[in-house]
Structure 1
Amino acid sequence: MELKNRVKESERLNASVVFSLEALDFLETEGSASLTELSGALGIHKSRVMRLCGTMEQMGYVIRRGEDARYVLGPRVLSLGKAFERHNPLLHVLRPQLEQLARELDENVSFQIIRNDRRLCICSVCRAQLMRYVTPEGSEAKFPYGAASKVMLAWGPAELRAKILAAAPYPRYTEHTPTTADEVLRAIEKTLERGYAVSREERTYGTAALDVPVFGAGCELLGALGLASTTERLTPELIEKAVPALRKAAAYIQSMTAGAEKFVPKMPRRDE
């Protein structure tokens, strides 16, 4: 009974901690924010935001700029990111594989995971000539856009797929953007049929991507491994060359990640 109570207690969310982490997430996305903007984003009173930010400022997680009184991320966030990279065995497996793929294919390569209702890039290797089409480490993107989204919706949790399909229609960015649940379902079926996903100009003109699934030791989806390129460069010839290389790397990652799935970051939100 005592163990059961401890497990339940560990699953409870502390509101102040959640609001603080959401504030950091907001600053990561926006770059900087005023007290009023943070209050609106978090849905809490400015006096509470001030106390939270004051605490995080004392601890080095945020900085309040003197010239405009806006909050930005502090140096402790960088040190935590570096510590995560040093001590995460999954990244130790991923980075050499991505570096090899980037050299072999001469393309930007990334590994993305599911984080709540978004996808998160946890490892990325870039080629200098393609800096415009990089997927930065730590960046998040919305479903259902992009090849990585198709991989995650095809092989990921059924609950995620149902949630994303129920959110249709989706905003249109280009004439190639999937906006209906039927379009996304057809893309998922095509992805399952051929074993990889391709996207072209779904959010930004001139961009294209190719992703394959990476499974964990228990055959559950670990993430999406793929390249971000341009519509001109992602030719049938490149796809023919890249798919076997990506699959080989995915198989190696799977073989080396027994027990490393627990290091894939997951962060529940307040509304869960």
Structure 2
Amino acid sequence: MAPSQSSKSNSSNTLNRALRLMRMLCEAPTPLSLTKIAKTLEVDAGNLHRLLQSLQDDGWVSRVYDGAEYTVGPLLMNNFDPWHPVHNFRRESYPFLKQLHEQTRETSALILFLGTQRVVMDAIHGQLTLSSYYDVQLSSPVHGSASGKILLASLPAGIVDEVLGGEPLPKYTEFTPTTRDDLDRHLIEIRETRYCISREEAFNGIVAYGAPIQYRGRVLGCLVSTAASADIATRDDASFATKLRDVANLLSASVPSIHQMKFFLTG
């Protein structure tokens, strides 16, 4: 049966609202509340909430984890104007990413945290090509990857519970932490050392090192280096991770647009 004229009209209206909403989020320098969006677009808040949830599920929109505000999702990150804080931050961070790559010769990535999502902003490939692992929105196990565990270590306990769900946690290799007690020990260590080591926890044969990018106590993302685990001895893990942390700390203290990024990511 062919769609009715009313059905076509409703679909067209929904698409139009979605496009206007995404354009509005791309132009906003900070996250926007549901009330603000509904008032600006002149739409019902209940219908808007359902639309936002659908767009969030598909990666077009992200919700700030500690509030009822929304910003762009991973799939919209490249649609800002050239002078948006995101593009400024990427440009200003590149020398530090390049420095890390030159020091390690391994694949290095700049990752931002959009709510509870991890978004690759830039990457330089090294000795081990990892294109298949570096989609715009990272899908590597959050409890078994360097970027994922740094994200979890920065979140309130209640949000961590929502992200992880129940136990046992999915097992990807023999080294993946599958209980909250094991994972919590990892997260405590990350907060104390300000770096993360994930040796074959997400993928066999791969080791990843990460260090948080922070501004005024708020973790905004991380730097990550990934290598073949056979190329770096376990005894060298702490030394490698410390080197990464030093670059991440320098980036956090030196990039001018990090102040704007804090407000863009967290409101």
What band does the TM-score fall into relative to the shorter chain? 0.5 to 0.7
Q: CA deviation at 1:153?
A: 2.0
Q: Which aligned pairs between 1:105-124 and structure 2 lie closer than 5 A? A: 105-124=104-123
Identical positions, percent = 22
Q: Distance in 2 between matches of 1:232 and 1:210?
A: 14
Aligned partners of 2:209 and 2:224 also within 8 Å: yes
Aligned partners of 2:195 and 2:245 also within 8 Å: no
Q: Distance in 2 between matches of 1:250 and 1:261?
A: 16
Q: CA deviation at 1:165?
A: 5.3
Give the residue type in structure 2 aligned to 1:227: S
CA offsets 1:167-215 (integer angstroms, 9 cap, x no match): 3321112111111111111211222333311111122110110111211
Per the alignment, residue 73 of structure 1 pairs with none
Q: CA deviation at 1:231?
A: 0.9
Single out whichever of 221-230 and 247-256 deviates more from structure 2.
247-256
Single out whichever of 150-159 and 202-211 deviates more from structure 2.
150-159
Q: Which aligned pairs between 1:221-232 and structure 2 lie closer than 5 A? A: 221-232=219-230
Q: Which aligned pairs between 1:4-19 and structure 2 lie closer than 5 A? A: 9-10=35-36, 14=48, 17-18=51-52
Q: Distance in 1 between matches of 2:263 and 2:243?
A: 26
Aligned partners of 1:214 and 1:251 also within 8 Å: yes
**TM-score under structure 1 normalisation?**
0.63
Q: Distance in 2 between matches of 1:260 and 1:117?
A: 16
Q: CA deviation at 1:250?
A: 1.7
Distance change (3 Å), C-alpha of 1:183 and 1:23: closer
Q: Distance in 1 between matches of 2:209 and 2:179?
A: 21
Aligned partners of 1:133 and 1:207 also within 8 Å: no
Per the alignment, residue 259 of structure 2 pairs with 258
Q: CA deviation at 1:252?
A: 2.5
Distance change (3 Å), C-alpha of 1:118 and 1:167: farther
Distance change (3 Å), C-alpha of 1:136 and 1:105: same
Q: CA deviation at 1:112?
A: 2.2
Q: Which has the higher contact order (CA 8 A, sep 6+)?
A: 2
Aligned partners of 2:167 and 2:178 also within 8 Å: yes
Q: Distance in 2 between matches of 1:86 and 1:234?
A: 39
**TM-score under structure 2 normalisation?**
0.64
Per the alignment, residue 160 of structure 1 pairs with 159
Alpha carbon RMSD of aligned pairs, Å?
3.3
Aligned partners of 2:153 and 2:190 also within 8 Å: yes
Q: Distance in 1 between matches of 2:50 and 2:80?
A: 24
Aligned partners of 2:214 and 2:252 also within 8 Å: yes
Q: CA deviation at 1:147?
A: 1.6
Distance change (3 Å), C-alpha of 1:234 and 1:105: same
Q: Which aligned pairs between 1:55-74 and structure 2 lie closer than 5 A? A: none
